[in-house]
Structure 1
């Protein structure tokens, strides 16, 4: 028989609160190889992130990647690490705090797909506080199975452990949301006003393997649509901007 988590000792009348859960990728606890290694292990073991058969990928991951890459990645983290911690952790927490100020009657928390604060921990804390309705917002404007999909998997996986499941709604993408486009427009125009305009605007997105796109991942399309809408908002033509993708991993072809 299934074994579910204990339910909170709260009267049913007090189990009616609503929360917003902001989700981000996650980060190692420190910019060191020792801290990066378990983070990379969890991240690169996710079937959404690396879509290779487990018997093929795990020996490569543990025999090669986790032997060589933690030190190199730690050096990169060291370059951007803030006194308060990882920039991703610091800014995600700040976003949650600022959103909570805008929504005084709603509980706002943040969680990471990998690392801390983890999804199980945060959802269990919310449930103990009487939260039964959660709006989950992965902070990825464009949907990719390896980012948004992986984040939502963590939430749905926790629901499998609940006898009395929370009601969950999700925002899986906002690549064409007017508020998102306007915010980027204002940010770029403020930069132009201070530093001047270059000859061309480069819009750079994280890449995904070409096979993922061929198999139906909408991410590249949504990135190009974001770029088109932003260019329109900025009143610039097709020759005034370029879309690019970065962060190729492995030898397979990427977008």
Structure 2
């Protein structure tokens, strides 16, 4: 019997330092998030970061927390429930970090007699710290606790035509009644070294754009290439003016070079160049979360207006939109019927 396992990032149990601390500990101690040796990672995370970060992060979570709970969890649950109405297969939802675990979700499917699972990492693009860690963690849990279950993994869908159409529709809906001077595609940032580590050829990725125009197997795991490809495909789908669209990267840490340009720098640059009305979309996520709702929707607006901007529009993620649910339903049902996975 076949079933579907959806996996998203996760969330603390509450917007309090007490609950944020263990969540951050699990997240930051992931070797695919902070990719240094375990001893150094332990000193950095538990000796330094967790001494101050939980209180700061708790305040940020409190700003975006809903009555129903964490926006990411609520939106993921809504998406999961809608998907269940579009397929005959059991659907379970798990999180990479936090108490809503992948193990619990797999147990739910196992209890329903599922022995073939389609793993759906809810990330459009491949990155060590998002897509890859979900896949590796799920495989580890499956091997240890559910050896009878066979896993098939949905590949990154950043350039799938149906995904691009759904994302484009989401942007169109978000731009309704908003006259913009510029649209900024702001993607989650990662260290440049992650790009090099993910390059199976060990030589292709130059992180300067030149390599993106040369067809290579490296593109299958290159986050930078994939996000820029998403921007280009949406531009083409919507017929956007080349001069009114750009891409950037948010959420960096000090000490190492991360992918550029940085989103907060772009807010200032665009405002000072006379872009008064800015729309921002965050396509690295399919569900709104702390990073989109607090860092971009709130802090981003403040940064842009302080630099001279006048109007700011954060376009929500696709979340549980009917269009996005239908796209996912088409993918999982095709897999159930024929074993086929989404094509480009």
Offset, 1:55 = 1.3
Higher relative contact order (Cα pairs below 8 Å, separated by 6+ residues)? 1
For residues 98-142 of structure 1, what are the alpha-carbon distances to aligned partners after superposition, in whole Å with 9 as ceiling and x for unaligned?
000111x11011100001320111112221221101001111001
Whether 2:43 is the aligned partner of 1:50: answer no
| Paired position in structure 2 for 1:252 | 256
Distance 2:8 2:226 in 1: 19
Report if the CA contact (8 A) 1:148-1:172 is conserved. Answer: no
Offset, 1:164 = 4.0
Distance 1:164 1:142 in 2: 28
Residue 127 of structure 1: which of 107, 110, 128 is its match? 110
Whether 2:186 is the aligned partner of 1:204: answer yes
- Tell me the C-alpha RMSD between the 2 structures: 1.3
Distance 1:162 1:73 in 2: 33
What's the TM-score, normalizing by structure 1? 0.89
Distance 1:221 1:195 in 2: 29
Aligned residues: 237
Structure 1: tracts of 5 or more residues without a match: 1-16
| Paired position in structure 2 for 1:29 | 13
For residues 202-229 of structure 1, what are the alpha-carbon distances to aligned partners after superposition, in whole Å with 9 as ceiling and x for unaligned?
0000000011113325111100000000
| Paired position in structure 1 for 2:94 | 111
Any idea what SS the aligned residue of 2:5 has?
strand
Any idea what SS the aligned residue of 2:19 has?
helix
Whether 2:51 is the aligned partner of 1:67: answer yes
Any idea what SS the aligned residue of 1:160 has?
helix
Kindly tell me: are residues 71 and 130 of structure 1, through their superposed partners in 2, closer, same or farther at Cα, counting changes over 3 Å? same
Report if the CA contact (8 A) 2:92-2:108 is conserved. Answer: no
Distance 1:75 1:237 in 2: 38
- The aligned runs of 1:58-207 (5 Å cut-off) are 58-103=42-87, 105-162=88-145, 164-196=147-179, 198-207=180-189
Whether 2:226 is the aligned partner of 1:222: answer yes
Offset, 1:161 = 1.4
